[in-house]
Structure 1
Amino acid sequence: MTDPALAEALQRAVDASEDVRGRTSPNPPVGAVVLDAAGRIAGVGATQPPGGPHAEVMALRAAGERARGGTAVVTLEPCNHTGRTGPCTRALIDAGIATVYYAVPDPNPSAAGGAATLRAAGIVVHEGLGADVVAAGPLRAWLHRTRTGRPHVTWKYAATLDGRIAATDGTSRWISGPESRAIVHADRARLDAIVVGTGTVLADDPWLTARLPDGSLAPHQPLRVVVGTRDLPTRARVLDDAAPTLVLRTHDVDEVLDALTAHPDVLLEGGPRLAGAFLAARRIDRIQAYIAPVLLGDGLSAVRDAGVHTIAEAIRFRRERVETVGADVLITLVPDREQRSG
């Protein structure tokens, strides 16, 4: 098996995993590729919605008899247990697969052990192919939830160069450019939940839906979550039937996350106070900051009341990625676990 063939198979598996992200919970969005004995792609598959086949089964179905003597490339260690579907290890063994490459081991104790089962059946197994790409990509949220017991929270906001998310009169449309907004809607279509506060609903009446470039609703809509104790107008757009909505009458961050344990990939789009509460609770796992080449000089800041009173208490992040999106810059950050102060 040549390195280019494995690299192509891995990329196809990652792409398949990304395509179903948001539609498989509580199962992980896994991607799989089956290569025939000559190293040619014979089948590609991804995890189906709960109760449906897993990625390996879908790829094996597509490959048919070409799977025998072939290679499977999977983003997650094949499962070794019977739930609503049978174990993927058994499907791979029965199909006559000779070699399996997988990116990351399954951290779920009830499903782990697949590699050992495959080896016991005489299959050659390799761990770690594309592990960094997969762990930081489509499996990031599911892995985080499995390891910590709580959803992975990304705080997304758009701000000016001076850190303002709205002008002094409250207007904020549009700080970011159309390219940034298109990415946000594409991301929403792969999420499990979007969280805002009642203040955002009362001020902006957001719809919180994922929309296609033509303005129509995307096939998958995340759960809309509104946090706070204030009553919402009965005609608030977030209460319509375009997507499911959960109203949580609380200000406690961990109560919110406890209610979302079945939704591993959560986007925080709330205002500065809700962002501050999540930051103070150390419950932000990633920041996506869209910085526009705009200056306001005054207005609403991106965050308030984050529990920081001195520079030694600063909540520090490290850069994961910086990219240009139209006229904007998207900065992706993750917590600096060392929390160094300068």
Structure 2
Amino acid sequence: MTAEADRRFMRLALTLGARGMGNVWPNPAVGCVIVREGRIVGRGWTQPGGRPHAEVIALAAAGAAARGATAYVSLEPCAHHGRTPPCCDALAAAGVARVVTALEDPDPRVAGRGHDMLRRCGIAITTGVEAEAARRDHCGFLSRVQRGRPMVTLKLASSFDGRIATASGESQWITGAPARRLVHAQRARHDAVLVGGGTARADDPMLTVRGLGARHQPLRLVASRHLALPVDGALARSAGDVPLWLLHEGGSVPAALCERWQDLGARLVPVPLGPGRQLDPKGMLEVLGAEGLTRVFCEGGGQLAASLLAQGLVDELVGFTAGLALGAEGQPSIGALGIGALAEAPRFRLAEAQAVGPDIMHRWVAL
């Protein structure tokens, strides 16, 4: 197989793996393509809940044709016994002759052991194919394993002058229907959607994926130190149907209020406090990482956005900008950062920009 063919099939494996984004945590969203004599005989991707793994799905599709074939896997196959046997064992038992991977899995339970196990079985290994693209696709899983926290996408929909609402609080709708539809698609590619308590109180959002025929909903997260949230709003009414986690200061919320939210179906998650006696963003994300979350989609508000940016916790910044101006009296999309010099401002690199109906979507990645 030529190097170009390896890249082509690995790109397909990555595309397949991306189908699992948002519904396979704590596992990575892996894709697998099995090729024999230049023909695809099997393909698969990690299934909802994280299993079966991509390799198992692809091998089942290939059947006997997997013997002597090449398997393209977007991450090193697992080498440990979890809820399922190691994928390395499945590849070896199927008689695969060669395995091509994009990245070594940094999980200490794997971390090169998968490649070594396959080599000991006489299987040829090629790794590092389309590695940069794989790092982008697996950034959430890699972040959880290597940094102890999920990757964070901060989404802001604002006027041309960076306002998210008028002075009176009116915000629906600054951007148009096409932009809002794209936001729902972006939610679906994340494990969880996060907002601050102020946004929850002001907008009473559902934070669900709608209009796309989604069979899976992201986890909903609300950060509110004292659980100062309406118990008769949309979030409360739907807490028993769509998972809702409330991030709060442990020990500071009255027991009766905790019981009320738990009776509604919400899960209460204590997180540590940081400077100023506010919820610590880094500590909050580390708690979420320990729970297995890999990708979090933050939709504000301004104070939460500022706290994440100030601590360098935003990995991607997605902006939807509308062609209207609300003026200085409008509510800013980002709260105070305390920046006194340009050199102190968090910087991002433009990754893409496109028109979405009457609005502009621009996506930036952390430097």
Same structural fold, with TM-score higher than 0.5 when normalized by the shorter chain: yes
Aligned partners of 1:51 and 1:85 also within 8 Å = no
- Structure 1 match to 2:308: 278
SS at match of 2:235: helix
Match of 2:100 in 1: 101
Figure out how many residues of one structure are paired with residues of the other and give that number. Answer: 331
Contact 1:12 1:44 in 2 (8 A): no
The C-alpha deviation readout for 1:51-107, integer Å capped at 9, x for no partner, is 732111110011000111111011001111111111111111111111111111111
Q: Which runs of 5+ in 1 are unaligned?
A: 337-342
237 and 321 in structure 1: CA distance in 2 versus 1, 3 angstrom threshold: same
> Corresponding residue for 1:117?
117
Greater helix fraction, Structure 1 or Structure 2? 2
For residue 232 of structure 2, the aligned residue among 230, 235, 256 is 235
Q: CA shift at 1:192, angstroms?
A: 1.1
Rounded to whole Å, the distance in 1 between the matches of 2:178 and 2:75 is 32
RMSD across aligned C-alpha pairs, in angstroms?
Answer: 1.8
Map 1:7-86 to 2 at 5 A.
Answer: 7-36=7-36, 38-50=37-49, 52-86=51-85
Q: Deviation per CA, 1:15-48, whole angstroms, max 9, x where unpaired?
A: 2211111221111111101112x12111111122
State the shift of 1:10 in Å: 2.3
Deviations 1:130-170 (A, max 9, x none): 21222112x12111111111111110111122111112221
- Alpha-carbon distance between aligned partners in 1 of 2:227 and 2:71, rounded to the nearest angstrom: 52
Q: TM-score, normalised by structure 2?
A: 0.85
1:203 deviates by 0.7
Are the counterparts in 1 of residues 194 and 221 from structure 2 also a CA contact under 8 Å?
yes
Mark the runs of 5 or more structure 2 residues left unpaired by the alignment: 250-278
Match of 1:255 among 275, 283, 290: 283
Percent of pairs with identical residues: 43
1:1-342 to 2 correspondence within 5 Å?
1-2=1-2, 5-36=5-36, 38-50=37-49, 52-112=51-111, 113-137=113-137, 139-213=138-212, 218-228=214-224, 229-239=226-236, 240=238, 241-250=240-249, 251-261=279-289, 262-298=292-328, 299-336=330-367
Mapped contact 2:27–2:50 kept (Cα < 8 A): no
The runs of at least 4 aligned residues of structure 1 exceeding 6 Å deviation read none
Cα pair 1:276 1:307 within 8 Å, conserved: no
Cα distance in 2 between the residues matched to 1:80 and 1:281: 35
Tell me: CA distance 1:42–1:83, structure 2 relative to 1, closer, same or farther (3 Å).
Answer: same
Aligned partner of 1:63: which letter? A
